[in-house]
Structure 1
Amino acid sequence: MPIQVTCECGRQLQAKEEYAGRTTHCPDCGRELVIPLPESQAWSAPEVGPPKDVYPGEAGTSGKAIASLVLGLLSFLCVFFTGIPAIILGILGLNDIDRSQGRLKGRGLAVGGIVTGSIGTVLIGAGVLIALLSPAIQAAREAARRAQCVNNLKQIGLALHNFASAQGHFPPPDITDKDGNPLLSWRVAILPYFGQEALYQQFHLDEPWNSPHNLTLLSQMPTTYLCPSEPPGDRTMTTYQVLVGSQTMFPREGPGVSPQDVPDGTANTLMVIEGPAAVPWTKPQDLIYGEGMVPAFGGKHPPGGFNALFADGSVRFLKRSMRNATLKAMITRNGGENVPPP
């Protein structure tokens, strides 16, 4: 079908379809004319209007978001095994949802998975960590208690030596009346020698420990006498006790043992140890040693052993597995035994 071409001068020309798109000249005015395309091939402008949905149909739920929530809930049981994957899948799920242009939903599921995974990982992980560290914490506390016990015994040893320097001998186990009846403990007698003179002055030394007046002072026990392993609420009881006997550092007869009256050596002779049961600190009650019998002692310490104060003022840790013969040799001051190192 011929193509109609009209020049500006009014001349009309006809051209075959095969010449469409080429140029020609008007025979009247000489203008250059472009032979147009046939109407069937003419270009038409695209329709203008709101964009059509590229992905028709109902949006689906992100599988990663679902998996994130499920793993997040399981993290309260499985901790890191599901908690961390829940967080990762939740983040990936949110990313997929944002890029899906409405094709995916499940943002709330992904956020829920991230939150539950984080909470499960942190809380349960913290509980597991505490459980793993509990033995170390307990060991550290026991070490601190043992160190405090060593410090207490060293202060007691210093007070005993200060007493001996002032009086020429260590104190007897009891403060007695004129008839030799025990009234108060040696723990009261050494109060002035470690900064407790004001408390010492309040005692009626001619009355027993449980007299109405002296009982009012029971609650004022110095912290030096408080064993770290004893219940913190009871501040009237102590386990620090001496070994009483004719061959020990605290015989009942006589004014007291002088530092020179220790043939076995002060470094080899026990003075103060921890008894098996706490006693009122002002009460004249200690461990009795006699006829070679070894009293029970050790306090509330681990099965491995306990601290003990020797007559030279040193504090050493004694093992419970120690032979009775060695322990007897440490208790006596004049037995002539050969005491091996503890």
Structure 2
Amino acid sequence: MQWNPTSAKLPGRQLRGAFTLVELLVVIAIIGVLVGLLLPAVQAAREAARRMSCSNNLKQIGLGLHTYHDTFRVFPYGWDNRGMTWSGHILPQIEQANLYQTLIFQESGPGNWDADGSPNEIAVSTVIPTYRCPSMALKEHFNYNGIPERVPGSYRGSAGTESSSDDTSTAVAGTKGLENLDQDGIFYACSKTKFRDIIDGTSNTIMIGESYTDPEFVKDGQGMDYWYIGSPQADPCRCDGGTGGTEFSEVVGTTIAQINAIRQAPTTSGYLMELSFGSYHIGGAHFTMSDGSVRFITDSLDMETYKAIGSRDGHEIVTEY
């Protein structure tokens, strides 16, 4: 009898059939469900890490401002008549001394922030991680205001509670414009704020806040563009009581509009909206208080309390927030 290998079986072993199509589909469905359950958890963990990194940035900025005050006995001004801003003056205090040394402090020529190829233009085109929230979903460089490769920032100083627009001519009745040299916050035109001026208490007064930066979003002719170190549009500002310049909201905000107005109150005017603090985080934004502490403040905070912590000398009594 002839041996047929196809019918032979090895002793002690059994042949197994392949997966059926139904079994394969079940396995794929199970894997899909598991990935669907796992992905939100991974995304939440990543956002938590980004929020912590953002908080650390604000902590470093707060320490830099305190170190600056320890050295010069005053906080840097919000901006001056050269368009130099508070974030530019503390570069040495946040380990950017080499970049600070390249800056040219003059009103014309290479001292202008949009002078082609100048050290000042290069400085505002330099990515500084400390000034950028990792959750900010934007490209690193924009061609903006005559500056190629300009880098947007995530953090602005607090000018207080009184201004509703950059210019007095477009301010809400009974409020100010940022061109006014007298504000109730920490940073404004040619400001010289000291710790002794923060009468409401350093733990109850906002110094720096996150901002929902988006240079491509414009409302009522106002862009949500926020930058650091220097500003060519703030450049014409005068420190002798006269008005001049515009777009000071590039480097400071106020608490006159609610947090995250761009998302929470889309009907807000563009003039107010660009002054609003906010963030790419869900539910609120980080703020550095004047004592250097960092707090995440929800965008549901009542406006009375929010305005109270925006002023340095309003004599308000602030409870838990």
TM-score norm. by structure 2 comes to 0.65
Q: Give 1:274's match in structure 2, choosing from 210, 214, 224.
A: 210
Q: Can you list the C-alpha shifts for 1:29-62, whole angstroms capped at 9, x where unaligned?
A: xxxxxxxxxxxxxxxxxxxxx69xxxxxxx9xxx
Deviation at 1:158, TM superposition (A): 0.4
Counterparts of 1:167 and 1:129 in 2: how far apart (Å)?
Answer: 57
Counterparts of 2:276 and 2:97 in 1: how far apart (Å)?
Answer: 32
Matched, 1:208 2:112: yes
Q: Give 1:297's match in structure 2, choosing from 258, 277, 288.
A: 277
Give the aligned residue type for 2:47.
Answer: E
Deviation at 1:251, TM superposition (A): 3.3
- Tell me the percent identity: 33
Deviation at 1:124, TM superposition (A): 4.0
Q: Secondary structure at the match of 1:276?
A: coil
Q: Secondary structure at the match of 2:18?
A: helix
Q: Does 1 or 2 have the higher relative contact order (CA < 8 Å, sep 6+)? A: 2
What residue is the counterpart of 2:235 in the other structure? none
Matched, 1:111 2:17: yes
Matched, 1:240 2:155: yes
Counterparts of 1:216 and 1:122 in 2: how far apart (Å)?
Answer: 55
What residue is the counterpart of 2:265 in the other structure? none
- Gaps spanning 5+ residues in structure 1: where? 1-49, 52-58, 60-93, 100-106
What residue is the counterpart of 1:128 in the other structure? 33
Contact 2:200–2:316 (8 Å) recurs in 1: yes
- Gaps spanning 5+ residues in structure 2: where? 142-150, 161-182, 214-224, 232-249, 259-274
Counterparts of 1:122 and 1:250 in 2: how far apart (Å)?
Answer: 60
Q: How does 1:59-78 map to 2 (within 5 A)?
A: none
Contact 1:243–1:288 (8 Å) recurs in 2: yes
Deviation at 1:334, TM superposition (A): 0.2
Q: Secondary structure at the match of 1:146?
A: helix
Contact 1:157–1:313 (8 Å) recurs in 2: yes
What residue is the counterpart of 2:216 in the other structure? none
Q: Give 2:289's match in structure 1, choosing from 310, 323, 329.
A: 310
Deviation at 1:244, TM superposition (A): 2.1
What residue is the counterpart of 1:227 in the other structure? 133
Give the aligned residue type for 2:300.
Answer: S
Counterparts of 2:125 and 2:31 in 1: how far apart (Å)?
Answer: 41
Structure 1 293/319 Cα, relative in aligned 2: closer, same or farther at 3 Å? closer
Counterparts of 2:114 and 2:42 in 1: how far apart (Å)?
Answer: 40
Counterparts of 1:293 and 1:131 in 2: how far apart (Å)?
Answer: 38
If you compute each CA radius of gyration, which structure gives the higher value, 1 or 2?
1
Counterparts of 2:254 and 2:41 in 1: how far apart (Å)?
Answer: 38
What residue is the counterpart of 2:67 in the other structure? 162
Q: Can you list the C-alpha shifts for 1:145-198, whole angstroms capped at 9, x where unaligned?
A: 110110000000000000000000111111x3xxxx242221111001121111
What residue is the counterpart of 2:251 in the other structure? 286
Deviation at 1:138, TM superposition (A): 1.6
Counterparts of 2:311 and 2:127 in 1: how far apart (Å)?
Answer: 29
Deviation at 1:123, TM superposition (A): 4.5
TM-score norm. by structure 1 comes to 0.62
Contact 1:188–1:282 (8 Å) recurs in 2: yes
Counterparts of 1:112 and 1:241 in 2: how far apart (Å)?
Answer: 63
Counterparts of 2:155 and 2:128 in 1: how far apart (Å)?
Answer: 12
Aligned pairs, how many?
237
Counterparts of 1:182 and 1:244 in 2: how far apart (Å)?
Answer: 19
